[in-house]
Structure 1
């Protein structure tokens, strides 16, 4: 009888769970969202799927060799300790491409066609055009971070006849992106765009990337969309840019502090749409993560290979 153990800190439906168990029939599989189910098993689990912050207390003495996160970001993990222990980490990057790209365009279209304004007017029973005149077709979008989400966003943008400018670390070209830039060329990209969409992970290189200088470089008619991480933006400088009409508006799913504090001026701004860090939510989340990422990675792991999908590069931070 094998003593190898997998902890899945999520409530999986039975068909998905069975697909995992079929690959590791001799393993002990612990599954469930409640910490009461898995907390005593973290210390001797070889594989953990779904990292929780409370697990960090055991990481120094645990036997974990591979962690599959349930999110694209890894900022909540004790990365230095895991790096020293040579624990492999794979992320959920790619699970979110459809729902987040849909949210991006929902925000862009709402701001452009003043849907948010009309919803407020409906509540007040006010009939007014609100000076709505802009359209999204044939405009220029700048996608800051052309990973899987950025690629899907670029693909949709082409359906609107948009010019797509992209920025990625390598500067490598990508389908549906007309021009690609590197981070050093960001200031060249910004003045050309009607929409700036930020999909980057948070790393030391990207922290505070958008501040006073960047907002001043944007067009006064441009909209800023952030679904990456809140700390990519210097929030008080975004507030200043919005108040001073340096940019036309913003659609924000992520913030420096979450939940967004009640005292934040962003709540009261008519040119801002706020969503509560839900852009990646989808009915297919668990299915895509298990079938498209975890099971292929588990097969690699069982073959004594590094997991091949979304393996974290500790140096890059993603």
Structure 2
């Protein structure tokens, strides 16, 4: 069942009911709150910035971890959350906050998550399937597609152009007598695990550089510009012909360690791996073995099975690994883009239309 096809009708506004209330649960610029208010004058937007932690950087949805509310402020915050029909963000940007508001607020019908892959947090909340039918959760999927795709292309080009080796030589002030050739992007083949919005944007950029692209999708239907589309069980077969493999898949029980020993065994020596999906999709022990034997020539990793990446992980020190601290989706435009996405969805919600990117209440993607 596609998350895009799930109807919003069980949570649609009721004619003649009191005005819809939207509460801003996470830090947000005042001008973006006003843009949400401008969607419909009949909607009451509840926003009390003094109850929200200050942002430390653009799109810092959790805010400063040192922020503490007084007892009175904490009561005001939860009174605000529990008076709303719709929430912009999870309370306290946490699974526990989501679980609490679902339990305490019987009028709540819709929560819009800041993350593209909010299914993991929804699952971690322990909220029942019945409650998730009452309170639908939508994600910000798509907002992060371009920055993630650009990061993925950077990772591919790093691998093709040997930037890790160049950096080592530069630090050593070494000018090798024997020159080592690089590989061309044009004519290279990229396999993308997960041809959703992020995967398709990655494919678009890859094709612009002359690469060919294959990939996996739940429904293996042809996609224009993609050489071959297959289901995930055929990933080893596709990967056998790859110069680079890019993961954009979310973390679910069905994707856990999908890129593991079977996939690595199928790769040609020197294949590039980029992960901008979820860390649990890659078997990190198998990846380390593949790096050691040269099957994976370079790995560009923005996500990890455990985050923050433990200090003892060999990935930190591997010469052919780039570690990014789960920041590749961040951009200065993120808050604006999410607010615009929410405003668009709010119009659909008011009209009783289906909302895109709803978290599946059973499979959590």
Normalized against structure 2, the TM-score is what?
0.80
Indicate the SS of the match to 2:147.
Answer: helix
Query: How much is the aligned-residue C-alpha RMSD, in angstroms?
Result: 2.2
| Contact 1:166–1:180 under 8 Å retained in 2 | yes
- Which residue number corresponds to residue 29 of structure 1? 46
Query: Does residue 1:301 correspond to 2:349, yes or no?
Result: yes
CA distance in 1, matches of 2:237, 2:117: 28
Runs of 4+ deviating beyond 4 Å: 1-4
Q: CA offset at residue 280 of structure 1?
A: 0.6
Cα–Cα, structure 1 residues 147 and 202, in superposed 2: closer, same or farther, change >3 Å? same
Aligned to 1:237: 286
Q: What is the aligned partner in structure 1 of residue 58 from structure 2?
A: none
322, 327, 331: which one pairs with 1:282? 331
Answering whether residue 96 of structure 2 is matched by residue 48 of structure 1, we say: no
Structure 2's unaligned 5+ residue stretches are: 1-16, 54-67
Residue deviations 1:56-78 (CA, integer Å, cap 9, x gap): 33432223210100011120124
- The CA deviation string for residues 32-68 of structure 1, in whole angstroms up to 9 with x for no partner, is 4427473442233221112211413343222321010
| TM-score between the two structures when normalised by the length of structure 1 | 0.91
Deviations 1:83-124 (A, max 9, x none): 321211111100011101110011111122122332343333
Q: Superposed, which structure 2 residues align to 1:185-264 within 5 Å?
A: 185-264=234-313
Provide the C-alpha distance between the structure 2 equivalents of 1:168 and 1:224, rounded to a whole number of angstroms. 18
Task: Work out whether 1:313 is the aligned partner of 2:360.
Answer: yes
The counterpart of 1:76, out of the listed 98, 121, 124, is 121
Query: For this pair of structures, how many residues does the alignment match?
Result: 316
Aligned to 1:287, the other structure's residue is in SS state helix
Decide whether aligned partners of structure 1 residues 289 and 70 sit closer, same or farther in structure 2, where only a CA change above 3 A counts: same
Superposition deviation, residue 312 in structure 1: 2.2
**Equivalent in the alignment of 1:10:** 26
> Does structure 1 residue 134 correspond to structure 2 residue 183?
yes
Cα distance in 2 between the residues matched to 1:69 and 1:186: 30
Contact 1:151–1:176 at 8 Å: present in 2 too? Answer: no
1:177-224 alpha-carbon deviations (Å, 9 max, x no partner): 111111122221110111000001111111111111211111112111
- C-alpha contact (below 8 Å) 2:162/2:182 kept by paired residues: no
Structure ranking higher on relative contact order (CA contacts 8 Å, 6+ apart) = 2
Q: Is the CA contact 1:12–1:31 (under 8 Å) kept in the aligned structure 2?
A: no
